[in-house]
């Protein structure tokens, strides 16, 4: 039965996190954008305590991940992330929690690994985990990574360089947290995709170095790190999934399945930023007595009204695609196609919506006195990370055409 | 609690209508467009599906199924997947039945609704649009004036579907009483009413299988009991129900164009492989698939609000705007995927494009 209304539980989550976004994130958003590479510890600690005490926030999601049967888990995450990103996308990304590394452990780890690594997120101090896939010479083509994992007695030995690792500093530097990084590496280059495995590397493991943090266009409150692995030795049982190299690329598909869970979350974050821009634009138009008249014949609408309605409809279209992808996952349905649709649409839409809002408001939109120009800079990352718009279109195309990656490359 | 799945009854209706659209409507869409005529047996077959009778309460001779805008949207989408012009013809009787059900007095329901429960197709229609560029459904130029115990209609309507046969029309006019500002009212009018002149058949770019006519009202008299109730909110609700149905039809046409282009692109070879294996084509198809889903989700949201008896003016407006734009973009891209062949009338995509061009202009051609 079709229903677009959030359950009262999710509506309450949204309400609470909206207050957090409005009162704890917005006031410091500009500051941490200007002071890149400074960690917003007060905010991080507050959110960690809040999630422990009230059961609200991404910290709650971390605990929920260990309770896989929980109803509406993925949709709840999307609702929460949209609100927090409405507050500030950079601060949301900077928050402690299992993040993408935790998602990978949840998706591919053994029960023992889940218990061992995810229990860290139940402690008193903030903990991060991160996911290291991209390399200087391998972005979208994640099967082309060069980082190697070689078995040596009781250990795996990692060598290679990873870049663009979100929260790589907080997860990988032991002075920041007792975190871990999930690292993609190949155990057999000649095997191609089938040889790619993921490994859990604890913060402070000798041989793993946080080499630098990138200077970025937006989401500056969140660190984006380069990690270098030089003969980095980790225990054998830190591999996620089987160490065997199968004849087919099934294993790689399993690793890629993590994205089915994370892409709707990125889409939700994008939508939060887009909504922030649209809300701001609506308030400004109201202040200037420019109405948005729904139901009016198109000839009588101003250009601004038309633009606004298009932005609004596109944003809602992206939100509904996102909710659907999360809802399917909550029902245990395969959502690979739908997750890519949500991500591709949301990334594109918020890029356009925020840029249009800056255009409509002219000098007011371009000024650093308000947050709109920042949201435009923040929004763009959603069109890129966790699979660019184009990679997601490629996935959609393969699915609707029934093509393998060989048939459509 | 969020749920994007149709209930079992809706799924059954969708499957039934979808089979009819694919097996019966689609094979005859091209010929109907060329001849400007829908085969009579197809219309009767469509009528026998009970898509109109089912929503009429039992006391008036119908099946008394629970009526829902979502179900209406599902039906409209699936029929339009077969062919838009034929879908509009088959659903035209709803243009009278639904407004009377929603906003008619009991007396009007008793007199009108039983007509829609017979064995044969009951032609009925709505006269909403007007032949001017700045037409606004909520501010019709057709005037309605009180004169003693009756009302007088003066003005002109256009794009009235099934206008050559319809036995009654829902008409949207501006009530001018000299006290309040002119405001829209909906009323029913019989074909035989003196002063009502049914014009010649219109010649349109698309929807050629659908007969549309102009209507001229020359001091045409209507009794008060033919006026629908519900005030301004009632009119806005009707408008939202029209927009939901048209949005759903846009989804159907876009989906049809997407499917057609996809199948062609997998067959057609160039440079040693199927053109669907080229990203330039594959990405167009991926975009179509994504947008068809987005269009449907927006349409259902507006329908869902209407089913909860909430004001859906904003949602229906946005859905209509979005789906009209996207249906045009998708059908245009479908022609583009077929290249030169898409321009030739041997293929259906040019018909989809001509039909889809109508969505941005239409008001009141279908109702959910």
- pLDDT 10s digits, B78-127: 999 999 999 999 999 999 999 999 999 999 999 999 999 999 999 999 99
Are A18 and A139 found together in one domain? no
Q: Is A304 a member of any domain?
A: yes
Q: Do A294 and B1 touch (CB under 8 A)?
A: no
d(CA B339, CA B284): 13
Q: Which of A223, A251, A279 is the last residue of a domain?
A: A251
Q: Catalytic residues of A, which ones?
A: 386
Q: Is the pLDDT of residue A55 over 90?
A: no
pLDDT tens digits, B35-63: 999 999 999 999 999 999 999 999 999 99
**Chain B contact for A401, CB < 8 A?**
yes
Q: Is residue A407 part of a domain?
A: no
* pLDDT category of residue A254 using cuts at 50, 70 and 90: low
Are A185 and A197 contacting, i.e. CB atoms less than 8 angstroms apart?
A: yes
- Report the residue of chain A nearest B240, measured CA to CA: A295
| Assigned domain for A2 exists | no
Residues A261 and A244 in one domain: no
- CB contact B112 to A (< 8 Å): no
Residue A317 belongs to domain spanning: 256-401
Same domain? For A277 and A326 the reply is yes
As for how many domains chain A has, the answer is 3
A-B interface: how many C-beta pairs under 8 angstroms? 145
Residue B66 pLDDT grade (very low, low, confident, very high; cuts 50, 70, 90): confident
**Residue B155: closest CA among B177, B137, B139, B140:** B140
Query: B230: alpha, beta or left, given left = phi > 0 and alpha = psi -120 to 50?
Result: left
Domain ranges of chain B: 8-122, 126-230, 232-360
Is A316's CB within 8 Å of B318's CB?
yes
Instruction: Report if residue A201 sits inside a domain.
Output: yes
CB contact under 8 A, A401 and B133: no
From B119's Cα to the closest Cα of chain A, the distance in A is: 32
- Average pLDDT over chain A, rounded to an integer: 93
* 8 Å CB contact of A400 and B70: no
Interchain proximity B137–A297, CB inside 8 Å = yes
Instruction: Mean pLDDT check: name the lowest of A243-247, A288-292, B210-214.
Output: A243-247
Strand pairing class (A180-186; A129-132): parallel
The correct CATH number of B8-122 out of 3.40.50.1370, 1.25.40.420, 1.10.760.10, 1.10.540.10 is: 1.10.540.10
Q: Give A-chain residues touching B313 at CB under 8 angstroms.
A: 294-295
* CA separation for the pair B151, B133 (Å, rounded): 27
Residues 6+ apart with CB under 8 A from B106: none
- Do the chains contact at B1 and A393, CB–CB below 8 Å? no
**Which among B3, B133, B135 is the nearest to A2, CB-wise?**
B3
* Among candidates B139, B313, B321 on the partner chain, residue whose Cβ is nearest the Cβ of A313: B321
**Closest-approach residue (CA) in chain A for B237:** A295
Chain B closest-CA separation from residue A297 CA (Å): 5
From CA A269, how far away is CA A266, in angstroms rounded? 5
What are the chain A neighbours of B322 within 8 Å (beta carbons)?
Answer: 310, 313-314, 317
* CA closest to B242 among chain A residues: A295
pLDDT in tens, B282-310: 999 999 999 999 999 999 999 999 999 99
CATH of the domain at A180: 2.40.110.10
Subunit contact B319:A403, Cβ cutoff 8 A: no
On whether residue A377 sits in a domain, the answer given is yes
Same domain, residue pair A244 and A277? no
> How many Å lie between the alpha carbon of A310 and the closest alpha carbon of chain B?
7
CATH number at residue A31: 1.10.540.10
User: Would you call B5 an interface residue with chain A, using a CB distance cutoff of 8 Å?
Assistant: yes
Task: Name the band, by pLDDT with cuts 50, 70 and 90, for residue A106.
Answer: confident
Candidate from A1, A314, A394 with C-beta closest to B7: A1
Residue of B2, B314, B325 with shortest CB distance to A294: B314
C-alpha to C-alpha distance for B162 and B127, rounded to whole angstroms:
10
Distance CA B326, CA B303 (A): 19
In a domain, A316, yes or no: yes
Give the distance from CA A62 to its chain's centroid. 14
A355 and A362 Cβ atoms separated by less than 8 Å: no
User: Are A283 and A366 within one domain?
Assistant: yes
Would you call A5 and B239 a contact, using CB atoms and an 8 Å cutoff? no
Mutation for testing the A interface, residue in B2, B139, B264, B279 having most A CBs under 10 Å: B2
Residue A309 pLDDT greater than 50, yes or no: yes
Enter the CATH code of domain B232-360. 1.20.140.10
Statement to judge: residues A210 and A285 lie in one domain: no
Choosing from A59, A81, A98, the residue where a domain stops is A98
- Using a CB-CB cut-off of 8 Å, the residues of chain B touching A6 are 1-2
Q: Which CATH number fits domain B126-230: 3.40.50.880, 1.10.150.20, 2.40.110.10, 3.40.50.1820?
A: 2.40.110.10
Which of A317, A349, A399 to mutate against chain B (most B CBs within 10 Å)? A317
Shared-domain flag, residues A260 and A394? yes
Q: Average the pLDDT over A255-280 and give the result.
A: 92
CB contact under 8 A, B3 and A327: yes
Please tell me the predicted confidence (pLDDT) of residue B185: 97
In a shared domain, residues A82 and A155: no
Looking at the structure, tell me whether residues A265 and A379 fall in a common domain.
yes
Q: pLDDT class for B73, splitting at 50, 70, 90?
A: very high
Question: Which residues of B are identified as catalytic?
Answer: 363
Hey, are the CB atoms on B2 and A72 less than 8 Å from each other? yes
Residue A114 in any domain: the answer is: no
Residue of A nearest to B8 (CA): A1
Which tokens is B101 given?
Answer: 């059900």
Looking at the partner chain, which of B4, B136, B240 has a beta carbon nearest the beta carbon of A300? B136
A228 & A262 share domain: no
Higher per-residue pLDDT: B180 or A42: A42
Tell me if A276 is assigned to some domain: yes
Q: Inform me whether the C-beta atom of residue A400 falls under 8 Å from chain B C-beta atoms.
A: yes
The reply to whether B154 touches chain A by the CB within 8 Å rule is no
A contact test, residue of B266, B294, B312, B358 with most A CBs within 10 A = B294
Q: Which of A297, A323, A396 sits opposite B136 (nearest CB)?
A: A297
Contact yes or no for B135 and A312 at CB 8 A:
no
Residues A241 and A268 in one domain: no
Chain centroid to CA B173:
20
Average pLDDT over residues A162-184: 97
Which runs of consecutive H residues, i.e. helices, occur in chain B? Answer: 8-20, 29-35, 40-48, 69-82, 84-91, 94-103, 106-112, 231-267, 279-307, 313-338, 340-343, 349-356
Nearest alpha carbon to residue A48 among A238, A174, A179, A224: A179
3-state secondary structure of A227: strand
In this structure, of A267-276, A290-299, A346-355, the range with the lowest mean pLDDT score is A290-299
- Say what the pLDDT of residue A250 is: 63
Domain shared by A303 and A216, yes or no = no
User: Which chain B residues are closer than 8 Å to A403 by Cβ?
Assistant: 276-277, 282
């Amino acid at each position: 039965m079709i229903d677009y209304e959030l359950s009262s539980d999710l509506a309450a989550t949204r309400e609470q996190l909206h207050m957090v976004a409005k009162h704890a994130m917005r006031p410091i958003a500009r500051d941490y954008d200007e002071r890149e590479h400074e960690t917003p510890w007060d905010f991080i600690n507050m959110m960690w305590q809040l999630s422990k005490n009230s059961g609200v926030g991404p910290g709650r999601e971390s605990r929920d991940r260990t309770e896989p049967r929980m109803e509406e888990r993925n949709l709840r995450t999307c609702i929460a992330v949209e609100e927090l990103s409405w507050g500030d996308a950079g601060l949301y990304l900077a928050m402690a929690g299992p993040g993408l590394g935790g998602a990978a452990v949840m998706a591919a780890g053994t029960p023992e690994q889940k218990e061992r690594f995810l229990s860290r997120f139940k402690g008193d101090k903030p903990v991060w985990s991160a996911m290291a896939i991209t390399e200087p010479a391998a972005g979208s083509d994640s099967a082309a990574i060069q980082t190697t994992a070689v078995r040596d007695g009781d250990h795996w030995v990692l060598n290679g360089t990873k870049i663009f690792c979100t929260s790589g500093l907080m997860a990988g530097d032991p002075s920041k947290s007792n975190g871990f990084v999930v690292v993609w590496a190949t155990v057999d280059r000649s095997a191609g995709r089938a040889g790619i495995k993921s490994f859990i590397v604890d913060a402070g493991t000798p041989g793993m170095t946080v080499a630098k943090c990138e200077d970025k266009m937006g989401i500056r409150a969140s660190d984006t790190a380069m990690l270098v692995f030089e003969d980095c030795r980790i225990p054998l049982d830190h591999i996620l999934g089987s160490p065997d190299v199968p004849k087919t690329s099934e294993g790689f598909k399993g690793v890629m399945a993590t994205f089915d869970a994370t892409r709707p979350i990125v889409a939700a974050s994008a939508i939060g930023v887009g909504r922030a821009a649209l809300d701001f634009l609506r308030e400004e138009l109201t202040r200037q007595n420019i109405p948005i008249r729904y139901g009016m014949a198109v000839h009588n609408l101003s250009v601004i009204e038309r633009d606004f309605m298009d932005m609004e409809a596109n944003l809602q279209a992206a939100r509904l695609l996102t909710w659907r992808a999360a809802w399917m996952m909550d029902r245990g349905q395969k959502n690979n196609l739908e997750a890519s649709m949500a991500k591709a649409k949301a990334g594109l839409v918020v890029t356009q919506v925020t840029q249009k809002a800056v255009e409509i408001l002219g000098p007011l939109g371009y000024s650093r006195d308000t947050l709109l120009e920042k949201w435009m800079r923040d929004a763009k990352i959603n069109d890129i990370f966790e699979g660019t718009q184009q990679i997601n279109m490629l996935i959609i195309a393969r699915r609707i055409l029934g093509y393998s990656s060989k048939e459509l490359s | 609690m969020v749920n994007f799945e149709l209930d079992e009854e809706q799924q059954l209706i969708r499957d039934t209508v979808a089979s009819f659209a694919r097996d019966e409507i689609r094979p005859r869409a091209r010929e109907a467009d060329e001849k400007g005529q829908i085969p009579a047996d197809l219309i009767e077959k469509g009528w026998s599906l009970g898509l109109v009778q089912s929503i009429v309460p039992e006391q008036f001779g119908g099946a008394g199924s629970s009526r829902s805008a979502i179900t209406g949207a599902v039906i409209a989408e699936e029929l339009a997947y077969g062919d838009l012009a034929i879908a509009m013809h088959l659903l035209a009787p709803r243009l009278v039945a639904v407004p009377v059900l929603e906003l008619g007095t009991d007396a009007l329901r008793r007199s009108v609704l039983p007509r829609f429960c017979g064995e044969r197709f009951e032609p009925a229609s709505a006269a909403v649009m007007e032949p001017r560029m700045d037409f606004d459904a909520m501010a019709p130029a057709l005037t309605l004036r009180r004169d003693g115990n009756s009302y007088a209609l003066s003005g002109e309507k256009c794009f009235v579907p099934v206008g050559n046969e319809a036995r009654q029309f829902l008409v949207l006019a501006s009530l001018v009483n000299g006290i309040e500002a002119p405001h829209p009212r909906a009323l029913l009018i019989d074909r035989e009413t003196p002063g009502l002149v049914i014009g010649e058949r219109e010649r349109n770019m698309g929807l050629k299988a659908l007969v549309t006519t102009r209507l001229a009202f020359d001091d045409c008299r209507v009794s008060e009991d033919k006026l629908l109730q519900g005030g301004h909110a009632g009119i806005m609700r009707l408008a939202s129900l029209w927009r939901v149905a048209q949005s759903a039809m846009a989804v159907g046409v876009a989906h049809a164009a997407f499917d057609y282009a996809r199948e062609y692109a997998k067959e057609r070879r160039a440079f040693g492989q199927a053109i669907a294996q080229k990203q330039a084509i594959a990405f167009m198809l991926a975009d179509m698939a994504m947008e068809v889903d987005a269009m449907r989700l927006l349409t259902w949201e507006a329908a869902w609000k209407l089913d909860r008896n909430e004001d859906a003016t904003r949602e229906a407006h946005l859905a209509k705007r979005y789906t009209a734009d996207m249906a045009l973009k998708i059908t245009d891209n479908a022609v583009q995927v077929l290249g030169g062949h898409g321009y030739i009338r041997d293929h259906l995509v040019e018909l989809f494009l001509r039909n889809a061009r109508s969505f941005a202009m239409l008001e009141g051609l279908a109702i959910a």
